[in-house]
Amino acid sequence: MNRLQGKVAVITGGTSGFGFAIAELFAREAATVAMAGRNKEKGAAAVEEIKRVTGLDARFIPCDVTKEEEVKNLAETVLRVFQKIDVLVNNAGMLIRKDFETTTGEEWDEVMATNLKGPFFCCKHIIPEMIRNKRGSVVNVSSHISLIGKGDVPVYSASKGGVTALTRSLALRYAKYNIRVNCICPGTILTELNRHVFEQAPDPEQKLRDVIATYPLGRLGTPADVAYAAVYLGSDESSWVTGIALPLEGGYTAGKE
């Protein structure tokens, strides 16, 4: 269908999990994809896999989103190579699951730097190009717990709550330039980020069943679920959509029956 034909997309954390699923589907929908990440080996493998699956080219650009100079270089490299940026997907993130009282200031800073400062830097250096073109779409990957909170991951919850609030603020600030800013709020999805939570449980299979039982649709999400939402928000199909926090969580935040 080529829903992203002619668009250039930057996807952070694009070499695994949600990010790779988004990058692959964007490529299938005819976008030019630039993936950013810290691991060069993973980046090379991700590029080769997208070429193998889609027959299309993609590019990996090393970037630690917590470092502003590297983000600035990411934006400049993409513009030098592809001349424009139509879609920015802020996906890079990290999770620590630790008792709040024993969480250190350094751990707090690390989570905030990746999950919240990273999107700040990327928007700061990429949105000006969108302003020049008078169009663009920013898709932030937040979390369903940014909408409701969750007691066992307060630091992660705080960081993602910031992402959701930043999304709404930037949507208002840049609407006059025809730039849309939205976020996706996924529920539990098995990725490298959280797989250890299940693997380290006394009974991993029971832990998985217990978590699934909290979702009315009776399953966990998949990276593909996130990718399809990102394609919609990145495409012109959502041209009148901005400032939303899209719950993508099988009914979790709707309440209890």
What's the distance, Cα to Cα, between the start and end of the chain in Å? 38
Strand 245-248 with 87-90, pairing: unpaired
Q: Would you state the pLDDT for residue 196?
A: 77
In a domain, 138, yes or no: yes
CATH of residue 45: 3.40.50.720
CA gap 47, 35 in Å, rounded? 8
What sign has the CA pseudo-torsion 63, 68, 69, 73?
Answer: positive
- Is 130 found in the same domain as 36? yes
- Mean pLDDT, to the nearest integer, of 208-212? 93
Strand 87-90 with 136-141, pairing: parallel
- Is 229 found in the same domain as 164? yes
- What domain range is 165 assigned to? 8-186+222-247
Query: Which of 199 and 138 is assigned the larger pLDDT?
Result: 138
Query: Which of 187 and 200 is assigned the larger pLDDT?
Result: 187
- Is 175 found in the same domain as 100? yes
In a domain, 131, yes or no: yes
Query: pLDDT digit string (tens) for 22-64?
Result: 999 999 999 999 999 999 999 999 999 999 988 888 999 999 9
CB atoms within 10 A of CB 65: 26
- Is 97 found in the same domain as 68? yes
Quote the number of domains for the chain. 2
- Mean pLDDT, to the nearest integer, of 130-159? 94
Confidence tier at 192 by pLDDT (50, 70, 90): confident
Q: Would you state the pLDDT for residue 69?
A: 98
- Is 215 found in the same domain as 110? no
CB atoms within 10 A of CB 13: 27
- Is 175 found in the same domain as 151? yes
Strand partners of residue 36: 12, 61
- Is 156 found in the same domain as 69? yes
Mean pLDDT of the chain: 95
- Is 123 found in the same domain as 77? yes
Contact status, residue 12 vs residue 118, Cβ threshold 8 Å: yes
Q: Would you state the pLDDT for residue 255?
A: 87
- Is 195 found in the same domain as 177? no
Tell me the catalytic residues. Answer: 156
Instruction: Tell me the whole-structure pTM to 2 decimals.
Output: 0.96
The backbone torsions φ and ψ at residue 113, rounded to the nearest 5 degrees and listed phi first, read -65, -45
% the chain with pLDDT above 70: 100
In a domain, 159, yes or no: yes
CA gap 123, 115 in Å, rounded? 13
H-assigned helices in 135-203: 145-148, 154-174, 195-199
Q: Which of 20-24, 95-99, 179-183, 229-233 has the lowest mean pLDDT?
A: 95-99
Measuring CA to CA, how many Å separate 92 from each of 121, 145, 237? 12, 17, 25
- Is 102 found in the same domain as 49? yes
CA gap 252, 148 in Å, rounded? 10
- Is 27 found in the same domain as 16? yes
Confidence tier at 1 by pLDDT (50, 70, 90): low
- Is 63 found in the same domain as 76? yes
Q: Three-state SS for 248?
A: strand
In a domain, 2, yes or no: no
